[in-house]
Structure 1
Amino acid sequence: MAMGKISVSSICLLLPIGPLFLATGALFSPALMAAGYDYGEALSKSLLFFEAQRSGYLPRDQRVQWRVPNSTRATKHEGCVDLVGGYYDAGDNVKFGLPMAFTITMLSWSIIEYGNQIASAGELHHAIDAVKWGTDYLIKAHPQPYVLYGQVGDGNTDHECWQRPEDMTTSRAAYKIDSSHPGSDLAGETAAAMAAASIVFCGHNVSYSAQLLEQANQLFEFADKYRGNYDNSITVAQEYYRSVSGYADELLWAAAWLYKATDNEYYLNYLADNGDALGGTTWTMTAFGWDVKYAGVQTLVAKFLMDGKGIHHALPVLDKYREKAELFMCSCLGKGGAVGNVHKTPGGLIFTQRWNNMQFVTSASFLTSVYSDYLTSAGESLHCADGGGVRVAPSELLSFSKSP
């Protein structure tokens, strides 16, 4: 379940960078901030962690002052592409594009949902800066419409040498996808990150928001036109961030974020027309994370429907997205009926896998928190097919989110 009294600063040391922002996002829920824990301090330390993970030339307002400019050598790849910047993965000095982009998507979603609460904690500018540090790098990594750099550094040589990024001597080779070596999952997730971030910046930096949207549209076209798993093109990523779920979920995820950012009917039609074929309406999920995005897609589409959108777009298909979203929520509550419920430890902690399980704990906390808010705003309740079918109040989802 949710983090309870576990400090985010402790979790930061355990999670890869991609899943980490889910913990940060869950902290932004008003219910959690009112639960009696010092979530403001945890929020601040989470954002400080990302400053410590910055790669490249550091800004003057860098608060983690024991970090100095790093990984600035050999910045030009193939003679012209500057890949300085971005974030290192947690605990090593490799820049992995797929989880990094997912990080930016999730932090942006957190700001979109809970920006007022972040601002009241005095952390909104730090959160926005964290997004921009990521998107500035992702823009650099996308120098042409059908080219995207997806990794800098090699995991094997990096993990054999324990050293600070300031002293790095390991490989800084760069790896890319293109039309001949596709990576729809990587391009799709990066499109989602750009689209989500464009919403964050639309009220702060209009020209930058427009630039991000242009990038997102290009990347979505790239992902959809040239289909394939990115780790078949960037094979050095296979030991670390293999795309086990494939790329179908990222295509839907990108379309959902682009629709949310633009209200362009093309993307809602894409979700409706491809929901069955790409699994958005057929996969019932019990986990959400950097590799598998279906539960996030289903949650977003459910919100579109609650807002009265999609009435003229194959409503029965979009309703199936919402049905799957609610099955995820009910499974977290243990009310999934015949559906395979989320496994839990004897103490009540969600248990998905033996390694790095906390990413799925925090991701479930985030989704159940935002879904509770969506239901509350719409004046609706959650329907769980448990026995004859029961209605569950949004407050029960919130109780799950903030439970120790």
Structure 2
Amino acid sequence: MLPFVILTSLAAHLLLVKVHAQASINTPYTPPPASQGQTASAKDTPNRQWANLLGNSLYFYDIQRSGQLPQDFRVSWRNNSVPDDGKDVNIDLSGGYFDAGNYIKATLPLCWVLTQMAWSGLSFGHGYNAAAQTPYLDRALRQGLDWILQASSVDGEVVVFIGKESTDNVYFGGDQNIPTNDRPSYKITRDNPGTDVTAICAAALAAGSLLYNGTVLPVDSTGKLQEAADMKDEAYSTQLLTRAQSLYDQAQNSLPQQVYQKAVPEVAWAYASSDFDDNLILGGTFLALATGQQNYSQYAQSIYSNSSYGYPVTSGALNWDTHQPAVPVLLVQAALANPNLNINADKYRAAAEVYLDPLVNKKMDGTKYTKGGLFLIPGDSDDASLNPALNCAALAVIYSRLATSGSKTNSYLAWARTQVDYALGNNPAHVVYSVGLHPSSPKNPQSALATGSSSGSVDNIDTDPPTERWVLYGGLVGGPAKDDSFSDRRSDYRETEVALDYVSPMLVLAAHRLAIGDTTDPFYVTMTEPVSSGGDGGLSIGAKVGIAIGCIIGFFLLLAGLAWVFRRSIKRFLNRRREPKHIPLEP
């Protein structure tokens, strides 16, 4: 009976993928050599460098794919992997994505990534179209959304995690030798619920449904719409929406409402959740937009008004776990997109600006900046320092033209640019933190997939091999330390690990630049400082040259001092050397 169930599930999964047409690729995209990051673009649109950044970022999601790969897969060094994922719960969960530099699969952060990815397409679809990256956005989204459909394919259940801490911390090798005999699947149920993960699954599926329905969200205070991402698929949109409604009903009505690690304590080591109200609001708002039904917007707003978290928020991070800062921005877009949803746009504009104004004016409580200008939230920025900054920048550009004044629009855009520029080279270490984009990009991101280890042992993480075998194009590393230094070592996971959710805000930011027709190259193209080798704690070549010159000068000063102390002895020695050689005469 078990093999039949597995084959049936696999067939359903394959049918799911084949039934719906994917956007066609007219000109395949391959990341260019890093050296091209030093070549200025022509002053036209789309800007080639921003298009490359968007393309490389989407390429990263291909690198992270799991399961059976297509015959024409563009990442030549990747292989099929983990075919037995989900076998223990009779579901084919071999697809989807590996979460970060390791091989776990985690539903909660994945759903935030898919939500943010779809949100970028809903807001800046024209950017994807202009860069000819819409087909790759389509493929990246389907790979994740199809996996969520599979993970929630048993009524009342959602698989929320695959893998174990004990296994994950041992193996650090390629995709062909991943230990597959100890990859348990953990799930929540109606009787043992996880409100947060169920609600954010609903949000991701509903946001995807909107995108595949050809919807465009307003990014202008007049409600002016841009071009839709060219990936309309009505059948797939309907399938996503139906499942989103079912999951949201489960999130609303399964009691007690609770964070999912209470139901599945085994996930707490990797992705413990702090709340679920924000996920309920996001899920309800996206469903209100997708269905046009007020009951969803009313429920979302009732959660907003009665949440113990305390809205509107005036500080705090935006990341895979905490989405509170994003809530009012989405509600403003929903209010403008559909006035029948009975959402007060002015109320949520004020709430959005209560957060964004102190952010861009550098007055937000509990935050600070590095000397180089990177925005930090102590605690949230301790690991992956770039992530809170880029998420806030992504939120600022989505909201910027919805603001209550032109001056606020300008300040939001200007602040976002500082953080993007920092990530793309305008930092004291002169590192471009997107891998493979520029000669100063990191060379050793923490990625078991790309390392090319012969031993597969985490004990040899920095030495096997000394330099990463494969280029992890598009991977955004965690980022620098609080003193702006960066050490390009695989063992330093805080600075060099990559993850699905590190890259997703960069999709928003790059698509925005392309959507507005920005012809100005990213900062790294015009870098005037020397390029960092990325392996010496963030010192640029210029800094190294300066140190070398200082050492040489110091050496000669030392010689001068010694010469003064031993001047008489040296004089006698030189005089002796100058005396003619005395050659005895033959007798």
> TM-score, normalised on structure 1?
0.81
User: Match for residue 144 of structure 1?
Assistant: 154
Q: Is the 8 A contact 1:72 1:84 kept in 2?
A: yes
Equivalent-residue separation in structure 1 for 2:384 and 2:234 (angstroms):
38
1:333 aligns with 2:360: yes
Equivalent-residue separation in structure 2 for 1:255 and 1:91 (angstroms):
32
Structure 1 residues 324-333 or 102-111, which shifts more?
324-333
Tell me the SS of whatever aligns to 1:148: strand
Displacement of 1:274 after TM fit?
2.3
User: Match for residue 215 of structure 1?
Assistant: 243
Equivalent-residue separation in structure 2 for 1:292 and 1:145 (angstroms):
27
> Structure 2 vs 1, CA of residues 287 and 34 (structure 1 numbering), >3 Å: closer, same or farther?
farther
Equivalent-residue separation in structure 1 for 2:93 and 2:338 (angstroms):
42
User: Match for residue 254 of structure 1?
Assistant: 283
Aligned pairs (5 A) from 1:28-107: 38-73=49-84, 75-78=86-89, 80-107=90-117
Displacement of 1:340 after TM fit?
2.0
Tell me the SS of whatever aligns to 1:149: strand
User: Match for residue 324 of structure 1?
Assistant: 351
> Structure 2 vs 1, CA of residues 114 and 286 (structure 1 numbering), >3 Å: closer, same or farther?
same
1:366 aligns with 2:366: no
Structure 1 residues 283-292 or 354-363, which shifts more?
283-292
Of 278, 301, 313 in structure 2, the residue corresponding to residue 272 of structure 1 is: 301
Tell me the SS of whatever aligns to 1:346: coil
Displacement of 1:307 after TM fit?
4.9
Aligned pairs (5 A) from 1:289-328: 289-307=319-337, 309=339, 312=342, 315=344, 319-328=346-355
Structure 1 residues 33-42 or 141-150, which shifts more?
33-42
Displacement of 1:36 after TM fit?
7.8
User: Match for residue 165 of structure 1?
Assistant: 175
Letter in 2 for 1:146: G
Tell me the SS of whatever aligns to 2:376: coil
Structure 1 residues 346-355 or 181-190, which shifts more?
346-355
Q: Is the 8 A contact 1:255 1:270 kept in 2?
A: yes
1:394 aligns with 2:403: no
Q: Deviations 1:120-171 (Å, cap 9, x if unpaired)?
A: 1111100111000000100000023311000111133112221223211152
Gaps of 5+ in 1: 1-8, 10-32, 383-391
Alignment length (residue pairs):
353
Q: Deviations 1:45-83 (Å, cap 9, x if unpaired)?
A: 1111110100101123321121111110354233x3221
Gaps of 5+ in 2: 1-30, 32-43, 215-231, 422-587
1:230 aligns with 2:260: yes
> Structure 2 vs 1, CA of residues 273 and 75 (structure 1 numbering), >3 Å: closer, same or farther?
closer
Of 383, 394, 405 in structure 2, the residue corresponding to residue 381 of structure 1 is: 405
Tell me the SS of whatever aligns to 2:187: strand
> Structure 2 vs 1, CA of residues 269 and 280 (structure 1 numbering), >3 Å: closer, same or farther?
farther
Identity between Structure 1 and Structure 2 (%): 27
Equivalent-residue separation in structure 1 for 2:73 and 2:351 (angstroms):
42
Equivalent-residue separation in structure 2 for 1:89 and 1:183 (angstroms):
20
Displacement of 1:271 after TM fit?
2.3
Q: Is the 8 A contact 1:288 1:360 kept in 2?
A: yes
Equivalent-residue separation in structure 2 for 1:268 and 1:225 (angstroms):
17
Structure ID, larger Rg: 2
> Structure 2 vs 1, CA of residues 229 and 75 (structure 1 numbering), >3 Å: closer, same or farther?
closer
User: Match for residue 292 of structure 2?
Assistant: 263
User: Match for residue 200 of structure 1?
Assistant: 211
Q: Deviations 1:368-388 (Å, cap 9, x if unpaired)?
A: 00101334xxxx427xxxxxx
Displacement of 1:116 after TM fit?
1.0
> Structure 2 vs 1, CA of residues 62 and 365 (structure 1 numbering), >3 Å: closer, same or farther?
same
Letter in 1 for 2:306: A
Q: Is the 8 A contact 2:195 2:258 kept in 1?
A: yes
Q: Is the 8 A contact 1:286 1:332 kept in 2?
A: no
Equivalent-residue separation in structure 2 for 1:243 and 1:254 (angstroms):
16
Structure 1 residues 273-282 or 144-153, which shifts more?
273-282
Letter in 1 for 2:80: P
Displacement of 1:272 after TM fit?
2.5
Letter in 1 for 2:261: D
User: Match for residue 124 of structure 1?
Assistant: 134
Equivalent-residue separation in structure 2 for 1:307 and 1:210 (angstroms):
20
Q: Is the 8 A contact 1:256 1:268 kept in 2?
A: yes
Q: Is the 8 A contact 1:280 1:298 kept in 2?
A: no
Equivalent-residue separation in structure 1 for 2:367 and 2:337 (angstroms):
28
Letter in 2 for 1:251: L
Tell me the SS of whatever aligns to 1:167: coil
Tell me the SS of whatever aligns to 1:166: coil
> Structure 2 vs 1, CA of residues 372 and 87 (structure 1 numbering), >3 Å: closer, same or farther?
same
